[in-house]
Amino acid sequence: MNHAYFLTRMPQTLRLQIEAESVYAPWLKQGETLERIFANPAIMETVYNQMTLRERKVLRLIVSCIGCEPFDAARLEKLAQPVMSGADAKVGFLLLLRKGICYTFRKSWGEHVYVMSPDALALWQPILLEETAASGGETAAELTVTGGAGLARELFYTLVFIRDHPIRLTKSGALHKRQLQKLVELSSLQDEWFTGTGIKYAYADTYPYSIAVILEFLTRLGLLDKQGEEMPLKDSAVSGWLSLSEEEQTAVLYRIWQPVAFPGAVWLQHAALWLERRQEGQWIQAAELLQWLFAHQLVQSDAAEEDGAAVIDMLERQWLFPLIAFGWLEKGETATGKVCYRWRIRPGKDGFSSDEVDAGGGRWYVQPDFEVLVPSDVTLAARWELSYFADHIKSDHVSIYKLSKEGVQRGLESGRSLEEMAGLLADHAHYGLPDNVQLTLEQWAKPFGRLQFEQAVLLRCRDQEAADTVRKLTAAADCLAEELGERVWIVRPDQINRLTGLLDKAGWMPGKLAISSGNPAAASHSSEAEEEGGKENIRSGKAPEEPWRPEPGDKGFIYARHAIGYFEMEQRLPNVAELYPDLNGIPTGWMKDYRTYHASTRREMVEKAMEWKAALQVRHNGKDRLIAPRKLQETRGTWSMTGLDQAELQEVCWLADDVQEMKIILPGINDKY
């Protein structure tokens, strides 16, 4: 859930409130939007430079100690206690909320919960946590652990299987065991890569991690359509998905996976985001990452070797192993045994960046022995169409497909003609279609369609009188396709309702249509027409007029770690004055006049400051101090105040007579002292 997601959920009143912040005015006047402003590091660094000191302190606490985990006001206040007053923290945080740095949600019982988006954390990391000097040393390493061809390919082969073997569910909503086993065999994902992620999902006692992960992506992308106990593919969505390059698909898949398995510990979040900013194809030593984590005190450790090993082990299990499984990351080892990693495909600013841009111009090789050699640069859209009539044998750097009589029959039954199949092979072939292959395809296809099974709707009359009545109804002639005998006709599927009405008016009662499995011809007619446009784009190899962009859904197969997606976003944010209840109920002099008050009045001021978690300007031993009172207690006939000296960041404890002049300081109201 990134900035764009939260902004789509944001009430218009709140958006207008954020847009009214003066800090954004220069860019909004230039036609920028909040979406683009929040994604621009240069703009947000300028915004940071214009923040107040208390805003910066609170922002640093959130970035360093919370990250993008949901939190409440009590947690933030506890984190802020050693460095600032509670009121300072509340005001600083409110100013951040009004700038859209974090988002406010309201639980059903009214309690507020806050969250920073992962892309915001990624943006603030280099601004607030500067880079440390590189450790240097070895840059060469030997590859030790790598994944498969890539998640995009993994999903592609799954889609082909589901297309050819539609998913059928049990009454409990689970996959049938035989089909589940086939999907497990098809997948190259290994369960051990995901055991450390802590993900939870339905049917966990039946489905291995690999299947849950695949179903998560298919569900989020909207590629499956739940229809009772069946779950067919949504052809239009599949067509759109296959129109994207593998690079674009991988970018979408990463944006789906990140919120599903993003670590909860803030240091793990920062480690993951730090790795995202490393260059693709270059080895990154784990020691360099540890040095950065320790330097910013994100991990509390003496940097002992065993501590570092434990940190890296946790990072691998919770975050890196799935990335390796998806083919995005690789693990290696230097000559001296140091662990390192490198991106095969690196997540960039707008998704994934790669030097290998899929231009969509890849071609395959059709061999005289009926094998089709498909290099990695052939688009998935072309592979999808090829898979209708060619059997996938294996995949490596080059995928191998095999043409067969059974495959050609399968393609013909799916609605492809011989000309379309031969044309696809020839159009994408480096050296055209061998003559023997063309001739054999024609021979295999020749018998198809000369005999054909069809389902039909019959009008059957029990006696001759009824049959004569039908013949006399001239209006009924258009509803009948063919007469099969003296008392039987084939009815046109799209004219059943009209014929029923005509027979009713004639005094006959034909009753309900009596067929056990419906009429596939009628049922499929509209769906074929609806989806033919998307299929035609794939068959012809043409890109859609407008690029398809998936909109991942809020709910997937894997359970969300947090319920924040179900909460309602707050409509508006309060003003600073609303943070201080009964502000008008105290003497204005307490906030204006810096002077000596009666002991009882000083006590009342301390109590009020504690209620508001505000600070007091006091004179102690002839020196002005800013104290955030934390405790007031009776001491030998008088009282004492314990609090935080906000300049020295030290706790002080003074008796009533130790304090001379006094004034309440309310952040955002009377900041100067």
> Within 13 A of 639's CA, how many CA atoms are on the CB side?
14
Per-residue pLDDT reduced to its tens digit, 56-91: 999 999 999 999 999 999 999 999 988 888 888 999
Distance CA 456, CA 441 (A): 31
Report whether pLDDT(542) > 80. Answer: no
Distance CA 529, CA 415 (A): 13
Q: pLDDT band for position 36 (50/70/90)?
A: very high
CA distances from 31 to 2, 445, 547 (A): 22, 59, 24
Q: Is the pLDDT of residue 356 over 70?
A: no
CB of 243 closer than 8 Å to CB of 546 = no
pLDDT over 60 at 323, yes or no: yes
Give the Cα separation of 241 and 221 in Å (integer): 8
Predicted confidence (pLDDT) at residue 359 exceeds the cutoff of 60: no
What backbone torsions phi and psi does residue 233 show, to the nearest 5 degrees? -75, 150
Q: What's the average model confidence in pLDDT over 10-38?
A: 92
Q: What is the pLDDT of residue 525?
A: 38
pLDDT score for 395? 82
- The fold of the 457-514 domain, in CATH, is Alpha-Beta Plaits (3.30.70)
pLDDT at 522: 38
d(CA 212, CA 215): 5
Q: What's the gap between Cα 453 and its chain centre?
A: 46
**Among candidates 175, 95, 51, 26, which has minimal Cα distance to 573?**
95
Residues 6+ apart with CB under 8 A from 594: 617, 661, 662, 663, 673
Backbone angles phi, psi at 312, to 5 degrees: -65, -40
When pLDDT is cut at 50, 70 and 90, the band that residue 309 belongs to is confident
Could you tell me which of 646, 664, 616, 669 has the C-alpha nearest to residue 57? 646
Q: With CA atoms as reference, report the closest residue to 63 among 1, 130, 132.
A: 130
The Cα 601–Cα 590 span in angstroms is 9
pLDDT at 302 exceeding the cut of 60: no
Please determine, for residue 46, whether its predicted confidence score (pLDDT) is greater than 60.
yes
89-98, 170-179, 588-597: range with highest mean pLDDT: 89-98
Nearest alpha carbon to residue 620 among 603, 596, 600, 598: 596
- Which residues, listed in sequence order, are joined to residue 616 by a DSSP beta bridge? 627, 664
DSSP string, 383-408: HHHHTTTEEEEE-SSEEEEEE-HHHH
Looking at every residue in the chain, the average pLDDT score rounds to: 84
Average the pLDDT over 574-581 and give the result. 85
Q: Which residues of 607-625 are buried (b: 16+ CB within 10 A; e: fewer)?
A: ebbbebbbbbbbbeeeeeb
- Where is average pLDDT lowest: 3-17, 339-353, 364-378, 650-664? 339-353
Query: What is the rounded CA–CA span in Å between residue 409 and residue 274?
Result: 52
- Identify the pLDDT of residue 137: 59
Q: Which amino acid is at 75?
A: R
667 close to 85: Cβ distance less than 8 angstroms:
yes
pLDDT digits (tens, 9 = 90+) for 442-466: 998 888 766 777 788 888 888 888 8
- Whether residue 308 has pLDDT greater than 60: yes
Tell me the per-residue pLDDT of 387-440, one tens digit each, with 9 for 90 and over. 999 999 988 788 999 999 999 988 888 888 899 999 999 999 988 899 999 999
Cβ partners under 8 Å of residue 81, min gap 6: 644
Q: Please state, for a pLDDT cut of 70, what percent of the chain lies above it.
A: 89
Tell me what the mean pLDDT of segment 22-26 comes to: 93
Domain residue spans in the chain?
3-128, 142-353, 365-445, 457-514, 581-665
Q: Which two tokens stand for residue 52?
A: 């107040």
- Of 155, 119, 123, 104, nearest in space to 43 by CA: 123
- Write down the pTM of the prediction: 0.79
In this prediction, what percent of the chain has a pLDDT beyond 90? 35
Q: Topology of 581-665 in CATH?
A: SH3 type barrels. (2.30.30)
Residue 116 token pair: 């920073």
Nearest in space to 124 (alpha carbons), one of 62, 168, 202? 62
Residue closest to 327 by CA, chosen among 156, 541, 479:
156
Q: Which range has the worst mean pLDDT, 135-144, 268-277, 611-620? A: 135-144
**pLDDT 10s digits, 149-196:** 789 999 999 999 999 888 888 888 888 899 899 999 988 899 999 999
- Residue 650 is predicted with a pLDDT of 86
Q: Tell me how many degrees the CA angle 417-420-424 measures, rounded to the nearest 5.
A: 145
Give residue 415's pLDDT.
Answer: 85
Three-state secondary structure readout of 103-129:
EEEECCCCCEEEECCHHHHHHHHHHHC
Task: Decide which of 512 and 18 is more confident.
Answer: 18
Hey, what are 369's tokens? Answer: 């022995």
Identify the pLDDT of residue 530: 40
Pick the CATH number of 3-128 from 3.40.718.10, 1.10.10.10, 3.40.50.300, 2.30.40.10: 1.10.10.10
Contact, 276 vs 122, CB < 8 A?
yes
Q: Distance (Å, rounded) from C-alpha 672 to C-alpha 664?
A: 11
Question: Are 482 and 489 in contact, with CB atoms under 8 Å apart?
Answer: yes
pLDDT of 519 over the 80 cut: no
- Is the model's pLDDT at 28 over the cut of 90? yes
Q: What are phi and psi of 455, to 5 degrees?
A: -100, 140
Task: Look at residue 584 in the predicted model and tell me its pLDDT.
Answer: 83
What integer pLDDT is reported at residue 495 of this predicted model?
Answer: 87
Tens of pLDDT, residues 200-236: 998 999 999 999 999 999 999 989 887 778 888 988 8
* CA separation for the pair 300, 319 (Å, rounded): 20
> Tens of pLDDT along 131-146?
876 665 567 888 898 8
Mean pLDDT of 317-324: 94
Residues 525-540: what's their mean pLDDT? 45
pLDDT the model gives residue 559: 87
47 Cβ partners below 8 Å, 6+ apart?
23, 24, 99
Closest of 422, 427, 424, 415 to residue 443, by C-alpha: 422
Give the model's confidence band at 306: pLDDT under 50 very low, under 70 low, under 90 confident, else very high: low
**211 vs 219, 326, 553, CA distance in Å?**
12, 13, 19
What pLDDT score does 93 carry? 94
Residues contacting 631, CB < 8 A, separation 6+: 610, 641, 642, 643
Beta bridge partners of 139: none
Q: Is the Cβ–Cβ distance between 637 and 657 less than 8 Å?
A: no
Asked whether residue 361 carries a pLDDT value surpassing 80, the answer given is no
